[in-house]
């Protein structure tokens, strides 16, 4: 066997590299602008007052959240595939580490490919499982945001105005409702497909093969959500998971003793805006979190240097557990990642002429 590059358009890697370079440049420019206005020494002074006890508790909450996230992935796969708990959790940790470095949830794609390669999970099943875990998480986040807006309605009306609050509530409500309906629908479809038995062969044609791939993924993972008890269990675990993430953000409010009337409300606003920013900017540089913290905490009267100090702590709590948990599986899979990232594959040796 020999390894050779996969045939692909040479412009695709160059376009991807340019996109990453532009995202990094945008992140650095945002950080430079924020630090220039806030003065770095003022940020360092705010960081000097941090409570190490609260910081340790925030790190613990983040570790628990990351671990539960990967256990949810394994729980969703275990009913349909003989996959290893250690292997799935390790791949999930590695995907989380990649998500910290690259935007647009690139680590989810790496996790899908490694699940298929190492755990012998069919590609459509891996895609469906990772997608359902993220979809449940998005629905849980939406529910938390609705509670945050509802409990702090008076404050939000003063900060954003009645029209702004109505727009925000409508957007969050619609997104949450779509997420919940999508999860329930996928569960129902998966249960219906589960009763038909496994497809033995693929249909010809690209459209039909895509249809079969979606059906296979939903048959194995969506069927798990087709039972009411399993659906409620998955949603409850997603709520606990998102709650732990939110807790890590809220604890940091106490770590800096920020003068905000509602720590959970402020933490939820920063977490939601940071999640949106991570789709565009690499989380590893912290620019999205910094901008989200300055904007959200500014609504609570927190000055910019203190808000940037809070953002630095959020970045630390987000990065350190992901690095410590994701580094061991990363080091043990360097070869697999090289093939995935660089686009190489094993090619058969050229056939020898007969006679």
As a whole number, the mean pLDDT across the chain is 77
Residue with tokens 């490919």: 113
Cα–Cα distance for residue pair 6/344, rounded to 1 Å: 5
Per-residue pLDDT of the chain (355 residues; tens, 9 = 90+): 444 444 444 455 565 556 666 666 666 676 677 666 667 888 889 999 999 999 999 999 999 999 999 999 998 888 667 788 999 999 999 999 888 877 667 788 888 888 888 888 877 777 778 888 888 888 888 888 888 877 877 777 777 787 887 887 788 888 788 877 776 666 666 556 554 544 445 455 544 444 555 555 555 565 555 566 677 788 899 999 999 999 999 999 999 999 888 888 889 889 988 888 777 776 667 788 888 899 889 988 899 899 999 999 999 999 899 999 999 998 888 776 666 655 544 434 443 444 4
Q: Is residue 156 in a domain?
A: yes
347 domain-assigned: no
Does residue 287 lie within any of the structural domains?
yes
| pLDDT on residue 28 | 66
Kindly list the distances between the CA atom of residue 47 and the CA atoms of 87, 192, 307, in Å, as whole numbers in the listed order: 38, 55, 10
The residue range of the domain holding 232 is 37-337
Does 21 fall in a domain?
no
- Measured distance CA(337)–CA(178) in Å, rounded: 34
CA angle in degrees (0–180, nearest 5) for 239-245-248 = 135
Asked whether residue 113 is assigned to any structural domain, the reply reads: yes
Residue 343 in domain = no
**Total structural domains in the chain?**
1
In a domain, 9, yes or no: no
Q: Are 107 and 96 in contact (CB under 8 A)?
A: yes
H/E segment holding residue 4: strand 2-5
Residue 1 lies in a domain: no
pLDDT of residue 3: 43
């Amino acid at each position: 066997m020999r390894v050779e590059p996969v045939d692909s358009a040479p412009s695709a890697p160059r376009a991807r590299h340019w996109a990453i370079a532009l995202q990094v440049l945008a992140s650095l420019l945002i950080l430079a602008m924020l630090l220039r206005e806030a003065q770095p020494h003022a940020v360092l002074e705010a960081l000097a007052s941090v409570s190490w006890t609260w910081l340790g508790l925030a790190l613990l909450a983040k570790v628990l959240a990351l671990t539960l996230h990967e256990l949810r992935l394994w729980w969703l796969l275990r009913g349909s595939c003989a996959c290893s708990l250690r292997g799935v959790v390790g791949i999930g940790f590695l995907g989380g580490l990649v998500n910290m470095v690259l935007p647009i949830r690139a680590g989810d794609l790496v996790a899908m490919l490694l699940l298929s390669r190492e755990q012998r999970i069919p590609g459509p099943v891996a895609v469906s499982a990772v997608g359902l875990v993220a979809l449940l998480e998005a629905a849980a986040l939406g529910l938390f945001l609705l509670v945050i807006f509802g409990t702090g309605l008076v404050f939000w009306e003063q900060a954003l105005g009645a029209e702004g609050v109505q727009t925000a509530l409508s957007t969050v409500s619609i997104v949450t409702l779509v997420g919940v309906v999508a999860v329930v629908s996928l569960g129902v479809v998966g249960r219906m497909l589960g009763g038909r038995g496994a497809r033995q062969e693929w249909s010809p044609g690209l459209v039909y093969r895509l249809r079969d791939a979606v059906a296979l993924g939903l048959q194995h993972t969506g069927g798990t959500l087709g039972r009411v008890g399993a659906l409620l269990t998955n949603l409850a675990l997603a709520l606990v998971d998102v709650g732990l993430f939110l807790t890590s953000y809220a604890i940091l409010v106490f770590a800096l003793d920020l003068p905000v009337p509602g720590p959970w409300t402020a933490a939820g606003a920063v977490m939601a805006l940071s999640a949106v920013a991570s789709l565009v900017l690499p989380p590893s540089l912290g620019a999205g979190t910094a901008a989200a913290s300055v904007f959200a905490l500014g609504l609570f009267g927190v000055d910019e240097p203190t808000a940037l100090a809070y953002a630095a702590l959020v970045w630390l709590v987000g990065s350190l557990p992901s690095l410590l948990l994701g580094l061991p599986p990363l080091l043990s899979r360097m070869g697999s990642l090289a093939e995935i990232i660089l686009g190489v594959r094993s090619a058969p040796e050229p056939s020898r002429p007969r006679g």
